[in-house]
Amino acid sequence: MMINSNQIVSMTEANQNFSKVVRRCEDCGCVVIFKNNKPKFVLLDIDAMKITLPQSDENLDRAAKKEIDRAKWL
């Protein structure tokens, strides 16, 4: 997984400065939140990812997995 250093924030920073992390996510499209020096969470800007949300939860799960696979986050 390729991560730009501008996209990395610690769990502490995310907890203390969430609005700053959200602005960074808006600028970069996503932010990777590290916990114990390992990538743990990804905050995605839906507009940047151009996801069209389906109607049902099952379709939403399928679309989310497809988008994650496409972006090679996992």
Query: Considering the entire predicted model, what is its pTM?
Result: 0.63
Backbone phi and psi for residue 70, each to the nearest 5 degrees, phi listed first: -65, -40
What are the tens digits of pLDDT across the range 47-57?
776 655 555 66
Residue pair 63/51 in contact (Cβ under 8 Å)? The answer is: yes
What are the tens digits of pLDDT across the range 17-68?
999 999 999 988 889 999 999 999 999 888 776 655 555 666 667 777 777 7
Matching residue, tokens 């501008």: 6
3-state helix, strand, coil in the chain (%, to 5): 55, 20, 25
pLDDT at 74: 47
pLDDT at 49: 67
Matching residue, tokens 């990812």: 49
Domains of the chain with bracketed CATH? 5-71 (3.40.1620.10)
